[in-house]
DNA sequence: TTTGGTACCTACTAAATGGTTAGAATTACT
DNA sequence: AGTAATTCTAACCATTTAGTAGGTACCAAA
């Protein structure tokens, strides 16, 4: 006798949530994608934007994201070096996830100032 | 001269994405919420549903989720013990995130069988 | 010649996370 | 009496993940 309104199949290797989390579940991954967003970001800009990340983690994540075709990397053969990162089509498809994450945080976690928002 | 189409403020402590990730970013957290979903799940059911999780991680996460008011815990004073977990109102608000995660995984990561899905 | 700026890499260390094993509690069933 | 069932705890260990510190490369400007 099931009382479940919505029963999901077990979360094994073929579980789409697990698959996404394997790719995107790192501490910094979604925050980096969020910062690049629909724009063009240089390495140095990202370092400043993602407060608190170490250089090692940033390039490590960036390399991983490029490898997994979520991020495009454009290198200008200049001195000093200039590298631009943008989201690929696949990377852009992660933005709805990030948006929901931002929405949830905004509505429930981050203290809002003023803006008498009557719990809507 | 900015070429960014969409510029986000830096991701510091007040970044809603970061706040959400701090709460939900664990290896198992979102998968557990996904499995409970809109239903009622017992501890043992969850253990079977979230394939590969250890008992320790499961109760540890469950305790953390109860503490953070994402999950309700109903204990029946029976022997053998019976405990039911459901999402709170706040917990239910995480489902859109999980849905997007599932959607992304389904569309891009998990191999689909049959269903000649012409890249739509 | 030294310093600065940009984008990395590598080796080492530290911290966070996760896994294993054992056990407690209590009742029913054998 | 012994075993099973269910939920949960605690101690200990292994692995994974992240942070630190240092270095490379190249050219420009001081």
The 10s digit of each residue's pLDDT in B28-48 is: 999 999 999 999 999 999 999
Tokens of B59: 């109760």
**Confidence (pLDDT) at B5:** 52
Contact B71, B87 (CB under 8 A): yes
Residue B120 in this model has a pLDDT that exceeds 50: no
- Alpha-carbon span B67 to B47, nearest angstrom: 20
Rounded to whole angstroms, the distance from the CA of residue B102 to the C1' of nucleotide D13 is 34
**Confidence (pLDDT) at A1:** 41
Please give the helix or strand (H or E) that residue B4 lies within, else none: none
**Confidence (pLDDT) at A9:** 72
Contact A88, A71 (CB under 8 A): yes
B90 contacts in chain A (CB < 8 Å): 108
Does residue A25 or residue B114 have the better pLDDT?
A: A25
**Radius of gyration of chain A from Cα atoms?**
18
Residue B6 in this model has a pLDDT that exceeds 70: no
Max CA separation in chain A (angstroms): 69
Indicate left, alpha or beta for A2 from its phi (over 0: left) and psi (-120 to 50: alpha). beta
* CB proximity B16 to A under 8 Å: yes
Domain parsing of chain A, residue ranges: 25-101
Does residue B117 or residue B101 have the better pLDDT?
A: B101
**Confidence (pLDDT) at A2:** 41
SS (H, E, C) A29-90: HHHHHHHHCCCCEEHHHHHHHCCCCCHHHHHHHHHHHHHCCCEEEEEECCCCCEEEEEECHH
- Alpha-carbon span A64 to A70, nearest angstrom: 9
- Alpha-carbon span B95 to B97, nearest angstrom: 5
* Architecture of the B24-108 domain: Orthogonal Bundle (1.10)
- Alpha-carbon span B53 to B62, nearest angstrom: 12
A103 contacts in chain B (CB < 8 Å): 16, 96
Peptide bond into A80 cis (omega under 30): yes
**Confidence (pLDDT) at A114:** 60
Does residue B96 or residue B15 have the better pLDDT?
A: B96
A81 touches strand D (CB under 7 A): yes
What residue of B is the nearest CA neighbor of A105?
B16
Q: Please indicate whether, in this complex, the C-beta atoms of B16 and A40 are within 8 angstroms of each other.
A: no
In CATH, what class is A25-101? Answer: mainly alpha
| Residue B41 DSSP SS3 | strand
Which residue from B27, B15, B32, B20 is spatially nearest to B87, judged by alpha carbons? B32
| B56-102 per-position pLDDT tens digit | 999 999 999 999 999 999 999 887 889 999 999 999 999 999 999 99
Which residue from A18, A6, A3 is spatially nearest to B42, judged by alpha carbons? A3
Peptide bond into B80 cis (omega under 30): yes
| A86-101 per-position pLDDT tens digit | 999 999 999 999 999 9
pLDDT per residue as tens, chain A (120 positions)? 444 456 667 667 778 999 999 999 989 999 999 999 999 999 999 999 999 899 999 999 999 999 999 999 999 988 888 999 999 999 999 999 999 999 999 999 877 676 554 444
* CB proximity A116 to B under 8 Å: no
**Confidence (pLDDT) at B119:** 47
Residue B1 in this model has a pLDDT that exceeds 60: no
B59 touches strand C (CB under 7 A): no
Which residue from B14, B8, B27, B89 is spatially nearest to A99, judged by alpha carbons? B8
Where residue B114 falls among pLDDT bands split at 50, 70, 90? low
């Amino acid at each position: 006798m099931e009382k479940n309104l919505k029963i999901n199949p077990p979360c094994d290797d073929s579980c789409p949530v697990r698959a996404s989390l394997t790719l995107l579940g790192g501490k910094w991954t979604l925050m980096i994608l969020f910062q690049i967003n629909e724009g063009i970001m240089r390495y140095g800009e990202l370092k400043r934007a993602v407060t608190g990340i170490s250089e090692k983690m940033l390039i490590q994540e960036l390399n991983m994201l490029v490898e997994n075709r979520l991020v495009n990397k454009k290198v200008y053969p200049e001195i000093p070096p200039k590298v631009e990162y943008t989201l690929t089509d696949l990377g852009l498809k992660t933005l709805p996830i990030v948006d929901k994450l931002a929405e949830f945080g905004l509505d429930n976690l981050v203290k809002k100032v003023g803006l008498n928002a009557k719990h809507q």
